[in-house]
Structure 1
Amino acid sequence: MPATDIDKDELIRRFGLQPHPEGGCFRETYRSDSRVTREGTGESRSASTAIYFLLCDGAHSAWHRIRSDELWHFYAGVPVDIHVLDAQGELATHRLGNALTHPDAVFQAVVKAGDWFAAVCASPEGYALVGCTVAPGFEFSEFEIADVKALAAAHPAHRDLIARLGPAGGA
């Protein structure tokens, strides 16, 4: 069965996905036993972590940031637009998807530590199954959902996109 014929409920069941606070569904698939110490803080954490992440039913990954680099990988479905606001306020959009069938897409995209980012399926009626690898490893204590009003005020040129991809509850 082609990946596009798989029902999103089947993906959720098959991969044991749960709702994620930023939107979509996820499951952690890997947490390194190796530990690293974050420079300047002395905090010990896993060297790397990985998740499956599913966007479907028009859901998006709301603006957020973490204190580690995050590498996104494409697995199945429609392309995903990953919007990234860097420390200088520059907006970049990575189209994550099947680079063999979508020449404007890449199989992998990096979001640098500390950059604000949000993601949405390029086709709202589709779904996208992707993976995210974080190094040093992801910790919810370093996960920050954006205050979209403050983010839009800081980056007025991108106000509409920021508002469109805010948290589902409008926070």
Structure 2
Amino acid sequence: MSPASEIIKLLNLQLNSTEGGYFANTYPIPPVENSPCSAIYYFLDNSRCSIMHKVTGDMLYHFYAGKPVEMLLLYPEGHNPKSEVCIFSNEIAKGGKPMKVIPGGTWIGSRIKSKDSWSLMGVSMAPPFNPKDYFLGDRDTLIAQYPEQKKLITALTNPS
């Protein structure tokens, strides 16, 4: 069994067919109404990317293990900078960030550029994740708003 398959099995990760990657709810377990926050494991391998998506609430991304992840962040209007490419990893001496605060309303997509690799991350939200506040990015709309990131937006979205 490959290391990626073993992690998926041991953490009981489920395929995220909408966005890409795998996930597992870690808090609250079991799900409860009016929880103050939510948390998941999020796992990527290089067979798929995490396509551009956003939620309305703030997110804390945590990097646990694996190869660096290239994250594209397209911030809401008025934010400075307008966009950012973040290398998400534990390789701090090489500029990696093991935790990233992502403001609500930010479009985010990510991918692993190393061949035959994977990354295990976590995402925490307060207030908790609500599927009604989750949106997938449209390639043409995002390119029109953030033309400077056209190449990465194209790589991290489904064709229109």
TM-score bucket (shorter structure): 0.7 to 0.9
Per the TM alignment, residue 46 of structure 1 is displaced from its structure 2 partner at its CA by 3.0
TM-superposed CA distance for 1:52, in Å, is 0.5
Q: For the Cα contact (< 8 Å) 2:46–2:111, is it kept in 1?
A: no
State the match for 1:87 in structure 2.
Answer: 76
Shift of residue 65 of structure 1?
A: 0.5
SS in 2 for 1:46: coil
Which runs of 5 or more structure 2 residues have no equivalent in the other structure? none
Aligned residue for 2:94, secondary structure, equals coil
Question: Is 1:99 equivalent to 2:91 in the alignment?
Answer: yes
Pick closer, same or farther for the CA change 1:99–1:46 going to 2, 3 Å. same
Give the whole-Å Cα distance in 1 for the aligned partners of 2:54 and 2:116: 26
Confirm or deny that 1:127 pairs with 2:127: no
Q: How much does 1:97 deviate?
A: 1.0
The offset of 1:125, in angstroms, is 2.7
Q: TM-score, normalised by structure 2?
A: 0.87
Following superposition, the deviation at residue 32 of structure 1 comes to 8.2
Aligned 8 A contact 2:55 2:106 in 1:
yes
Alignment of structure 1 residues 26-37 onto 2, 5 Å: 26-31=23-28
- What is the alpha-carbon distance in structure 1 between the residues aligned to residue 133 and residue 115 of structure 2? 29
Q: Does 1:159 align with 2:150?
A: yes
Choose from 96, 100, 109 the match for 1:109: 100
* Structure 1: tracts of 5 or more residues without a match: 36-43
Identity of aligned residues (%): 28
Runs ≥4 residues deviating over 6 A? none
Residue 138 of structure 2 is aligned to residue 141 of structure 1: no
Q: Does 1:7 align with 2:3?
A: yes
The aligned counterpart of 1:38 is: none
Superposition deviation, residue 103 in structure 1: 2.7
Q: For residues 34-87 of structure 1, what are the alpha-carbon distances to aligned partners after superposition, in whole Å with 9 as ceiling and x for unaligned?
A: x9xxxxxxxx85321000111013311110100111111111100112211112
Q: Is the CA contact (8 Å cut-off) linking 2:62 and 2:121 kept in structure 1? A: yes
* Alignment pair present for 1:77 and 2:66: yes
Determine the C-alpha separation between the residues in 2 that align with 1:26 and 1:47: 20
1 CA distance for matches of 2:66 and 2:145? Answer: 34
TM-score, normalising length: structure 1: 0.81
Q: Which amino acid aligns with 2:9?
A: R
